[in-house]
A and B are shown apart, each in its own frame.
Chain A
Amino acid sequence: MKHHLISTGDLTRDDALLILDTAEELARVSQRSIKKLPTLRGRTVVNLFFEDSTRTRISFEAAAKRLSADVINFSAKGSSVSKGESLKDTALTLEAMGADAVVIRHSASGAPHRLATWVRGSVVNAGDGTHEHPTQALLDAFSIRRRLGRLEGLKVAVVGDVLHSRVARSNVLLLHTLGAEVTLVAPPTLLPVAVETWPCQVSYDLDAVLPKSDVVMMLRVQLERMNAAYFPSAREYSRRYGLDRDRFARLHDDAIVMHPGPMNRGMEISAEVADSPRSTIVEQVTNGVTVRMAVLYLLLGGSEPAIGGAE
């Protein structure tokens, strides 16, 4: 039985479109004065965050609350985890409390997958290590479709620190499923091993890719993970791979700029570009709540989940 959302690679085209279409209807609910729906009344969603992430946690919390689910926030700091409790024991505790869904953020790739074998409820991956962040990819796809009206045949450039980016991997897999053509643009040191097996193109030259792109998705340079020297200096990175005013001017008129946030203004993206009307950065946050509502509804709303990968 389909149960979890761990990788966008588990989603069929129909699954992905069902999520986007459901989100489209739910977006209308966010516009009215009473934004709450009674659908998940009596269901419990646990936000299990082993890594700091205010925006993702708040987004999931808002989504669950708008569907009337009970939300329990569990962050590793100041919890039994800091006393040395294992992931498995934490999982069993949550299970005993009757969690219908566990939203997990963990620094280790594969943690949600392990968790899924220990709990009966649905597991939603909210970012695991450098592996995946499926709801981010879904909200990106949703934001693109809302702005440009389609996904099929669009050319999407994903620029920056692909090596450490779970957002990049989830987006490549999902956008490929939905018929868009993705090009990863990064210095060779910031591309993962075996990137040639991903369903996308790879380029080292941002200026060559920009004029052909409908969507430019900038990735955050993850300074906290930069323990090795991946590029000579921030300034040099910014000059070759940053999206500044001059590069922005080379995009065609309908192209949009995205960023999953939080941004390093002046590094991978200039403030001017980030604040331009063709940037979707703020609406990505709004759309995040809507898309997460759709995912929670489709996983928990019926007698059995309507989407997601089987365990």
Chain B
Amino acid sequence: MSDARNQARAVLEGPDIHRALTRIAHEILERTRGAESVVLIGIPTRGATLAHRIAGRIAQFEGIKVPVGAIDVTMYRDDLRLRPARPLGRTELPPDGVDGRTVVLVDDVLYSGRTVRAALDALNDVGRPRAVQLATLVDRGHRELPIRADYVGKNLPTSKSEKVKVFLEETDGRDAVVLIKEDDR
């Protein structure tokens, strides 16, 4: 599809993302009484990047080192058979694991909720957390499962025909959340 047909609009720029993550970090500290026994687990690839950023802020605010990890959910997805088999992401758990901890799952965009469901299953196979919470940079609505986020960077009303793309410095060279409108042909 040509660019002329696609309208891309940045809904969050670098500073907005920074502020959103700062707020999420504060909220996590507030709601978990100083991030006690918290583990941040990102969903690759961008969720994992965001988890590291949030951990960095928590360290900066309170001087606490929160364990960070990543969990790949590809093998647990319910839509595997709708597309060709895809490459796997990296799973990296903190050395002390997740048993008895409060796991905060981190993803970039919350949409149908299916990725989070897969992540809950994947988490179940690596340990038994005391509680699981969910942080997302963008909540774009249209949930298909009874799942909601505990920490939201920005609620973004979208239509299903639109696409939300998150760019992050570490992987994409810049920070932005872009809403792409695909016009009907």
Give residues in A with beta carbon < 8 Å to B.
18, 21-22, 25-26, 28-29, 32, 34, 36-39, 67, 297-306
Contacts and interface: CB of A to CB of B under 8 A. Distances in A.
Main secondary structure of the interface of A (DSSP, over half): loop
Contact of A302 (B84, B90, B125): B84
Contacts of B126: 32, 34
B158 to A, nearest CB: 26
B81 A26 contact: no
B121 A25 contact: no
Contacts of B88: 21-22, 25-26
Interface of B: 72, 75-76, 80-91, 121, 125-126
Contact of A25 (B80, B84, B89): B89
Contacts of A302: 80-81, 83-86
Given A34-B125, A34-B126, A37-B76, A303 B89 contact: no
A67 B83 CA distance: 18
Contacts of A26: 88
Nearest to B91: A28
Interface centre among B85, B91, B125, B126 (most CB of A within 10 A): B85
Contacts of A36: 125
18 contacts: A18-B87, A25-B88, A34-B125, A36-B125, A37-B76, A38-B75, A39-B80, A298-B85, A300-B85, A301-B80, A302-B84, A302-B85, A303-B81, A303-B83, A304-B84, A305-B85, A306-B84, A306-B86
Contact of B75 (A297, A299, A306): A297
A221 to B, nearest CB: 38
Contacts of B72: 25
Contacts of B76: 37-39
A38 B85 CA distance: 14
A28 B126 CA distance: 11
A25 B91 contact: yes
A301 B88 CA distance: 12
A21 B72 CA distance: 14
A32 B84 contact: no
A38 B120 CA distance: 13
A303 B90 contact: no
Nearest to B126: A32
A233 B121 CA distance: 59
Given A32-B125, A302-B81, A303-B81, 14 more contacts: A21-B87, A25-B88, A25-B89, A29-B91, A34-B125, A37-B75, A37-B76, A38-B75, A39-B75, A297-B85, A298-B85, A302-B80, A302-B83, A303-B83
Nearest to A306: B85
A38 B75 CA distance: 7
Contacts of B90: 25
A276 to B, nearest CB: 31
Contacts of B80: 39, 301-302
Contacts of A303: 81-84
A104 to B, nearest CB: 21
A18 B86 CA distance: 9
B123 to A, nearest CB: 11
